[in-house]
Chain A
Amino acid sequence: MSEKQDSRSKPLIRVRDLRKVYAVGEERVVALDKINLTIMQGETCCIFGTSGSGKSTLLNQLAGMEKPSVGDVFIGNSAISRMPEADLAIFRQRYLGFIFQSYNLLPQLTAVENVALPLAFRGIEKHVRNRMAVELLKRVGLRHRLTHYPGQMSGGQQQRVGIARAFINRPKVVFADEPTGNLDTRTTGEVLHMMKEFAAEFNETLILVTHDPGIQTYADRVVTLRDGVVISNIKGGQPDEA
């Protein structure tokens, strides 16, 4: 299903000569270097690497959480790496979704309220956004957990709320940082299937950051990092020169 879309899709995320240097005390640590990457619209891309390989740092640059030291990140035509904080908020509202390893649901909000939160930030009426949230929660199988608080749900359930929240504003890109890191194998499968399904439905790009080699099988493209450098970029089993 996704292959068919891939063939017609345009590049969505472009990374050009990206370099990120952290100052740790007196020393300067190069976290990322010479990163060049193109990710297509509708693609599921897995950024793979061991701990300390720089994969999380790369995600931060892609999502505009941090500014690169050198180089640029484009999402569509927007240079997210150069965007001021105020514009970034609007950009995130419209085009980006996030799924976190530790779910990051707000504990004082119910499942519905958590899912509806990105829409609340956009100023959408409560009854409209709650209806959309309920719809999506039903689709992730939480029909009976609508008014539960995060503390009353299992990890798998919380992450499904997190997925619903990431997709509710129909983003162009959903970033998932170790989304299954805290889940058991069976739940991991369910959660990944769900993410793939939602992404495919609206031709959304999914960026998965993981250290779990098993997850690579869900991806159209696997970018492997080691010591801040891309060591392989494989699309559909073939190396991709981007």
Chain B
Amino acid sequence: MKKLDLMAMCRQNLMRRKGRTFLTVLGVMIGACAIIIMVSIGIGMKESQEKMLSEMGDLTIINVNPPPANMKKVPAMDANLLRTIRGMPGVVFVTPKLTAEDVTLKVVAGKDKRYVCDYVTVVGMQRNAPVKLGYKLIEGGQLKERKGSVLLGENFAYLFRDTKRPEGRNMVDTSSMYMMEEGQQAAETPTPYFDPLKTPLELVVETTVNGKTQTKSYPLKPEGKLKEDYAKGGETADGMLLFDEELSRILTEARRGTEAANRKSKGYPQVIVKVKDVSRVAEVENQIKQMGYVTNSMESIRKPMEKEAQEKQMMLGGLGAISLLVAALGITNTMIMSISERTREIGIMKALGCKIDDIRTLFLLEAGSIGLIGGFAAIATSLLISSILNVVQSKKTLESVEQLMQILTTPGSRMSVIPLWLIGFSLVFSVFIGLFSGFHPANKAVRIPALEAIKSE
């Protein structure tokens, strides 16, 4: 028989018993819907977990620190270590992170050094580190290859006191930035005394050697302003970031003659490693740990959360699978009913020369169609249910289509997420369930003899 004829016949047969076909399709729909919704809730859960974790810090970054002094001997963290780590599979970027530690750094700005910052967090990293580690800029550009090139923290300007104002009123009042009513947007940011990107800055190093205080200044060339992100470090807020070799030179000069200079070099105080993706973090972190260094990353938090999410997802998916199993039994039942009703008809078809394969195909087609229609209905229904869940979850009243779209497309805040693969999977799965359920009845139909046509009723 021609494929088109088989399909037309299949349609006719399904339409003959509309009620029964509808109920069977409904069964498949409910089953498939249960699976889709359960899995989508699992995905939503995972998504919001990931969002939460990424707010806590970058999931692909590992911080490496030297072991405590009294622990076993491990080589200092130096250029060699950087090279070793860079060679590990999955590692995309490695940078040392220098801090001033024992040296006091000041910054002066403006005409006659009117503005003074008495303490500032200074961090030294490789020149391309801010780009590689995902530091965000509010203003200006990245570090350049020139002396004094520096990126400033978002609130850098508020660190300065005005030497021409009286004590107690010589700093910008920033309290308004932190006093927010719940749900209220941050109040207007206060205006700083000057724009540090456009004002000459100087880094001043004060050291005390044998009771005498020495000062040394280094002109700074601010390139841009960083966005505050404490997950990355304090330098993005009230500090500054410059090229590690430059900072290292400044620190060495400052320590000259002091006790610190006599101590043996301890290497970098911290190394930051960026891994290609989350799945490689554990592997790389383990390797570094085995070398004797202390590491930390979001992995230790992410792992158990992921496991828990997986367990929940499995449980939810299992519930859905049970309902689909029941639906599969429904299809089998419908097909067996249909065959016993159509025994004579199948006999007639055989007597008129219908091939066995065509009869089998016809029944599989009918069962598969029930699965397919059920699958389509399930997808439509699940998309609707999912949207309702998300809107309810967002606790917002719907005012516009744009707002609805925003609720449905913002990752991390959605309760249920139906990705494209889930739609495709459920469709294929529904059809498969249909065919699987129709397999036994189809074989039963094939065995009906042509003689049934002649038997009197």
Considering only CB atoms, which chain B residue lies closest to A209 in the complex? B454
Interface: A85 (CB within 8 A): yes
B352 near A121 with CB under 8 A, answer yes
CB distance from B204 to the nearest CB of A (A): 94
B351 near A98 with CB under 8 A, answer yes
What CA separation (Å) do A56 and B358 show in the bound complex? 28
B13 near A66 with CB under 8 A, answer no
Q: Which residues of A contact B12 (CB under 8 A)?
A: 108-109
**How many interface contacts (CB-CB < 8 Å) are there between A and B?**
76
Q: A66-B451, A126-B5 are in contact. Are A102 and B355 (CB under 8 A)?
A: no
Q: Which residues of B contact A125 (CB under 8 A)?
A: 2
What CA separation (Å) do A8 and B358 show in the bound complex? 40
Shortest 4 CB-CB contacts between residues of A and residues of B: A93-B353, A92-B353, A65-B451, A89-B355
Interface: A228 (CB within 8 A): no
A90 near B5 with CB under 8 A, answer no
Residues 58-93 of chain A, each 1 if its beta carbon lies under 8 Å from chain B, else 0: 011001011000000000000000000110111111
Interface: B76 (CB within 8 A): no
Interface: B348 (CB within 8 A): yes
Partner of A102 from the list B351, B353, B457 (CB cut-off 8 Å) is B457
What CA separation (Å) do A94 and B352 show in the bound complex? 10
A102 near B456 with CB under 8 A, answer yes
CB distance from A58 to the nearest CB of B (A): 12
Q: Which residues A93-127 have CB closer than 8 A to chain B? A: 93-94, 96, 98, 100-102, 104, 106, 108-109, 117-118, 120-123, 125-126
Interface: A220 (CB within 8 A): no
Q: Which residues of A contact B451 (CB under 8 A)?
A: 60, 65-66
Considering only CB atoms, which chain B residue lies closest to A124 in the complex? B2
Considering only CB atoms, which chain A residue lies closest to B2 in the complex? A123
Residues of B near any A CB (own CB < 8 A): 1-2, 4-5, 12-13, 15-16, 344-345, 348-356, 358, 449-451, 453-454, 456-457
CB distance from A181 to the nearest CB of B (A): 9
A126 near B352 with CB under 8 A, answer no
What CA separation (Å) do A40 and B352 show in the bound complex? 23
Q: 24 interchain pairs (CB within 8 A)?
A: A56-B454, A85-B356, A86-B356, A89-B355, A90-B355, A92-B350, A92-B353, A94-B353, A96-B353, A98-B351, A98-B352, A98-B453, A100-B348, A100-B454, A102-B456, A104-B348, A106-B345, A108-B13, A109-B12, A120-B5, A121-B349, A123-B2, A169-B353, A177-B454
B348 near A120 with CB under 8 A, answer no
CB distance from A119 to the nearest CB of B (A): 10
Interface: A165 (CB within 8 A): yes
Considering only CB atoms, which chain A residue lies closest to B15 in the complex? A108
CB distance from A219 to the nearest CB of B (A): 20
- In addition to A65-B351, A89-B350, 5 A-B residue pairs with Cβ atoms within 8 Å of each other are A65-B449, A92-B350, A92-B353, A104-B453, A121-B354
What CA separation (Å) do A65 and B345 show in the bound complex? 15
Q: Which residues of A contact B354 (CB under 8 A)?
A: 89, 121
Partner of B353 from the list A65, A101, A122, A126 (CB cut-off 8 Å) is A122
Q: Which residues of B contact A109 (CB under 8 A)?
A: 12
CB distance from A174 to the nearest CB of B (A): 12
What CA separation (Å) do A78 and B4 show in the bound complex? 32
Q: Which residues of B contact A120 (CB under 8 A)?
A: 1-2, 5
Q: Which residues of A contact B5 (CB under 8 A)?
A: 120, 126
CB distance from B449 to the nearest CB of A (A): 7
Considering only CB atoms, which chain B residue lies closest to A105 in the complex? B348
CB distance from B137 to the nearest CB of A (A): 69
CB distance from B445 to the nearest CB of A (A): 13
Q: Which residues of B contact A98 (CB under 8 A)?
A: 351-352, 453
Q: Which residues of B contact A117 (CB under 8 A)?
A: 349, 352
B1 near A100 with CB under 8 A, answer no
Q: Which residues of B contact A94 (CB under 8 A)?
A: 353
B454 near A118 with CB under 8 A, answer no
B450 near A121 with CB under 8 A, answer no
A60 near B454 with CB under 8 A, answer yes
Q: Which residues of B contact A169 (CB under 8 A)?
A: 353
What CA separation (Å) do A65 and B350 show in the bound complex? 10
What CA separation (Å) do A111 and B357 show in the bound complex? 25
CB distance from B209 to the nearest CB of A (A): 103
B356 near A89 with CB under 8 A, answer yes
